[in-house]
Chains A and B, each alone.
Chain A
Amino acid sequence: MSAALAPTRCFPDLELPDHTGRPRRLSEVAGGDPLVLLASRGWWCPKEQRYLRSLLFFQDELEVAYARLAVLSVDPPEVQAAFRAGLGARFTFLSDADRRYLDVLGLRETTDTVHHPYRPAAFSLYPDLTVHAAYNGYWYLGRPTVEELRQDLRAIAMRLRPDRELAG
């Protein structure tokens, strides 16, 4: 994983269209909440399909947990929209079809010299996009489990929410 995306570093505030084609900033997607950002090869990869399906149960928790989830890939918005709908996802997909950030983030998949997708990676981010944890998902088992993401988000939330302890 690039040292620029290591814990305590600030993740770039990406400016990309979402799955509807609407321009978005990553900080806007975070919206003041902890954010899990997943760099993904794309809809066609069986590993991505399996991993994102495994996160659908987690989105049911996040919808009441004030935490966000977003996917970054080189798929065009219309392809992302179809993939997202097929999955049943209710989180945002960001489209880098122009490969603007592949090298900025150091996440170019060097073993696919035809499609130039993202190398799978996951980042747990504070709302200001400071990196809490980074995972290299090139090998499937390098990706964070739901429990690891839950622990990351708990740690971030404990730092963020001043009212985390009940008043005595």
Chain B
Amino acid sequence: MRTGSSRVAWDGAMLARGLDARGRRLRADPRCFVGERVAGAWAHVCALADEDAALPFDDPLVQQARRDALAWWIPMLGPSLVCMTTLAVDSVHYGGAITVARDPSRFRDDPFARVFPGTVVRTDLFADVPPPAGPVIERMAGVAWPGGAFATTR
């Protein structure tokens, strides 16, 4: 795993990046790792270390979690939010989601925990990323939502 990639490793207890990181490899929104990292943040990792824990991104359960993130999860977190990302297994499958915040007290309401249960961990890996503007919940060319954008001719 390259340090400059969008991959993150999750072993069920710890998030890590880098060539020697242990755990399940999942692709995140690459913007989460660009720029100044927020020290001492909290991550709510709604994913399992089990390699078989995956659903299609198009599964209604996963789609509704994204809608709920836009509708009320992001507003509920307000300025505490650092960034959020879904976790892609491949071009089709969803492996979970991570919400990173400065305050973990709202994590019990995380809509992504309906898909895979959440684990709270302390992390210094993530940078501030503007939350998705909505209402788009579809992915861009296989990049983990809400990352990615189409190249435009204008």
Q: Interface residues of A toward B: which range? A: 35 or more
Q: Which residues of A contact B74 (CB under 8 A)?
A: 20
A29 to B154, CA, bound (A): 17
A91 to B149, CA, bound (A): 17
Stretch at the interface among B20-28, B64-72, B105-113: B64-72
> Count of A-B contacts with CB under 8 A?
92
Whether A161 lies near B150 (C-beta < 8 A) is: yes
Q: Specify the chain A residue showing the minimal Cβ separation from B131.
A: A22
Chain B hits for A62, CB < 8 A: 135-136
The minimal Cβ–Cβ distance linking B14 to chain A, given in whole angstroms, is: 29
CA distance A66 to B138 in the complex (A): 7
Residues of A within 8 A of B (CB): 18-22, 24, 28-33, 59-60, 62-70, 81, 84-85, 88-92, 126-128, 130, 159-162
Collect the chain B residues with CB atoms within 8 Å of residue A88's CB: 71
Contact of B154 among A20, A21, A64, A126 (CB under 8 A): A126
A residues less than 8 Å from B71 (CB atoms): 85, 88-90
